[in-house]
Amino acid sequence: MQAPFELVAANPIVAAICAMVGLALLFGALLGFAAERFRVQGDPIVEQIDALLPQTQCGQCGHPGCRPYAESIAAGEAINKCPPGGQATINALAALLDVPAPELDDEHGEESEVKKVAFIREAECIGCTKCIQACPVDAILGSAKLMHTVIAAECTGCDLCVEPCPVDCIDMIPVEGDLKSWHWQLPQRPGLIASDRQPHSGEAA
C-alpha cells in the first residue's frame, strides 16, 4: 500500500479530478442546504417598497391601497403615482430600485403642502355610516343613525370619506403644528458669496 502522498504524486490528473469533484459535491450540498434552510418567504422587494410608501391607503395611484401599488411597482409599474408621498417617496423608491427618479405624475394628483386630517361637522352628520365604510384605516367612529367622528390621530388624510358623505359634512383640515412636532429648520442659504457684490437689477444673478 502506497502512502497517500505518493498515490497523489503518481496520479496527478486523477487526484486533481477527484479533488475538484469532491469540492463540487461539497459546495453543491452546501448551497442546496442553504437554499432550503434560508429560503425567503414572499417577495422581499414588495415589503421594502411598501415600507417606503406613506400608507395613506388613498388609492390615488389607482390601486386599492399601498400594498397593491407596492406589488405592481415590483412588477414594473411607474414609481411616480403617489401624491401623498410626494417627491421624497419617489426619490426613496428610486434609490431603492436604482432607477432615475421621475417627477410626480400630475394625473394622480398633486403633492399637498400641509398634512390634513378629516373632520366631521358633527351637528350635520346624519349617521349614514358611508364614511365609515370608505375609511381604509378604520379611523371613523360611529354607528347607524348616530353621530360619527374622526379619530384624528389615526386619520391618514386620504380624502376617501369626503366623497361618499351625502350631506357634505366632512372637511379636510390642515394639521396645525404644535410644540411637540416643531423642529428647527435648515438655515436660509445665502444666495451669493458674501464677499461678492450684490448683483445690479437687470444683471443676471
Partner 1 sequence: MRKVWETPGGIHPAENKAQSVTRPIGYLPLPERLWVALNQHAGPAAKPLVAVGDDVLKGQIIARSEGDRGTALHAPSSGRVVAIAPRAIAHPSGLPAECIEILCDGRDQWIDLYPIENYRNTEPSALLDLLAERGVAGLGGAGFPTAIKLATDRPTELLLVNATECEPYITADDSLLRERADQLLQGIDIASYLLGDPAERIIGIEDNKPEAIAALRAALAARSDQLPAVELAIFPTKYPSGGEKQLIQIVTGQELPSGALPAQLGIVCQNVGTLYALKRAVVDGEPLISRITTVTGKACTINGNYETLIGTPLTDLLTHSQLDPNRLERLIMGGPMMGIALPDSDLPIVKTSNCFIAADNTEVAPEQPAQPCIRCGLCAEACPATLLPQQLFWHAQSQQHDKLEAHNLFDCIECGACSYVCPSNIPLVQYFRAGKGEIRQQRAEKAKSDFARERFEFRQQRLEQQERDKQAKREARKLAAQQAKEAQSEASAPADSAAALIAAAQVRAAARTASPEQQREKLTRAIASSEARLQRANEKVTEAQQSGCDDATLQPLLAAQASAQQKLTQAEAKLAELSADPGKGPSPAPTQADSQSPEIDAASRAIAKARATAAAREALSPVEKIAADLAALNKRVEKLRDKLAACEEAEQRELLASSLAKLEAKQASLQEQQRALNNGI
Using CB under 8 A, list all residues that contact partner 1. Answer: 50, 53-57, 65-67, 136-139, 154, 156, 177-187, 189-190, 193-195
CB of residue 141 vs partner 1: minimum separation in angstroms?
A: 13
DSSP 131-168: HHHH-TT--EE--TTS--EE-GGG-----TTTTT-TT-
Nearest C-alpha neighbor of 68 from the set 78, 52, 57: 57
29 vs 175, beta carbon nearer partner 1: 175
Rounded to 10 deg, the angle between the 86-97 and 44-52 helix axes is: 160
Quote the CA–CA distance of 26 and 22 in Å, as a whole number: 6
Q: Which is nearer to partner 1, 15 or 137 (CB)?
A: 137
Q: Which lies closer to partner 1 via its Cβ, residue 1 or residue 193? A: 193
What minimum distance in Å lies between the beta carbon of 192 and partner 1? 9
**CA pair distance 133, 137, nearest whole angstrom:** 10
Nearer to partner 1, 28 or 199 (CB): 199
Residue type for 29, please? A
Name the DSSP letter for residue 1: -
The distance of closest approach from Cβ of residue 57 to partner 1 in the complex, given in angstroms and rounded to an integer, is: 5
**In the complex, what is the shortest distance from the CB of residue 136 to partner 1, in angstroms, rounded to a whole number?**
5
From residue 93, alpha-carbon distances to 56, 58, 78, 96 in Å are: 16, 18, 10, 5
CB of 154: closest distance to partner 1 in angstroms?
Answer: 7
Q: How far is the CB of 82 from partner 1 (least distance, A)?
A: 12
CA 47 to CA 67: how far, in whole Å?
8
Task: Please identify which residue in the block is written with the cell numbers 400630475.
Answer: 106
- Which cell numbers hold the place of 28? 453543491
Between 2 and 185, whose beta carbon lies closer to partner 1?
185
Q: Which is nearer to partner 1, 158 or 165 (CB)?
A: 158
